[in-house]
Amino acid sequence: MGSLLEIFKLTKHFGGLAAVNDLEFRVGQGEILGLIGPNGAGKSTVFNLINGFLPLTRGRITYEGRDITGFKAHRIARLGIGRAFQATTLFMKLSVFENVFNGFHLRYQKSAWRSFLHTRAAREEEDRAREEAMEILRFMGLARLEGVLAQNLPHGHQKMLGVCIAMAIRPKLLLLDEPLAGMHPEEATAMSEVITKVRDSGVTIVLVEHNIGAVMRLCDKIVVLNQGRKIAEGLPAEIAQNQEVIEAYLGVDDEEGAR
């Protein structure tokens, strides 16, 4: 299995603080990679560097064998790197369908002039986008809610809608930032099933998540960060037995550690 994404010596300084320091890992085509660590470990910063929201201090990022270091966010999205955010970023006053339809703007090819004239090509392109939006909603199990305003969805469905919007660019690589955050167990189970379904459809996934049980079940490989550095990498079973990970992230107090 070849690497889709490769991270080399990734470093980001904010003033004198290294939020990410010499980080390296690879994401294999078709896998789910978990990126975990305590709060402040640098996980969201890594996502912001990968999708061009922040400039690197140093390091290199390659995607499909191509150096994308320094690319702007819109250019990276067009290459097929999507992201669903930790905070729900929806158009709350729009319907479920309208939210996904608006997610197609990065792929829209019609010019403003063609749109103004409402040419046949523009109408056909809009029709294709509408059909694709419905295909995504059907795939994600939200088609029956297409007319519901986003603000009226339960939290779990709002998070799923965020993934639907990210899917609108036809991503080859999807970055999921705490997709299970704030969910009750039934919602978390449903989202986990969706994540697996997305991967099985051919989308590679990098997942930041604090629900360790879900990470262990979902991920093929896990990278653990602490204070901006990688402290472990391996299969879920290996990470679960790694003492440094247990102490830094899973929480072992001195009394338990002495036993």
Is 226's pLDDT higher than 80?
yes
Is 118's pLDDT higher than 70?
no
Task: Provide the 3-class DSSP secondary structure of residue 162.
Answer: helix
Q: Higher confidence at residue 106 or residue 68?
A: 68
- Alpha-helical segments (H) within the chain: 43-50, 73-78, 96-102, 112-117, 120-140, 155-167, 185-200, 212-218, 236-240, 243-245, 254-258
Mean pLDDT over 154-162 rounds to 92
pTM confidence score: 0.87
State the average pLDDT for the chain: 88
Q: How confident is the model at residue 2 (pLDDT cuts 50, 70, 90)?
A: confident
Percentage of residues in the chain with pLDDT exceeding 70? 88
Please list, in sequence order, all residues whose beta carbon lies within 8 angstroms of the beta carbon of residue 217, skipping any fewer than 6 positions away: 192, 236
For the chain, list the domains and their CATH numbers. Answer: 3-92+169-258 (3.40.50.300)
Q: Annotate 88-123 with DSSP letters as a single string.
A: ----TTSBHHHHHHHGGGGT----HHHHHHT-HHHH
Residue 87, φ and ψ in degrees, nearest 5: -85, 135
The pLDDT tens digits of the residues spanning 32-41 come to: 999 999 888 9
Mean pLDDT over 2-24 rounds to 94
Is 106's pLDDT higher than 90?
no
Q: How confident is the model at residue 112 (pLDDT cuts 50, 70, 90)?
A: very low
The pLDDT tens digits of the residues spanning 167-182 come to: 988 999 999 999 998 8
Looking at residue 102, its pLDDT comes to 86
Q: How confident is the model at residue 135 (pLDDT cuts 50, 70, 90)?
A: very high
Cβ–Cβ < 8 Å for 84, 171? no
d(CA 152, CA 252): 41
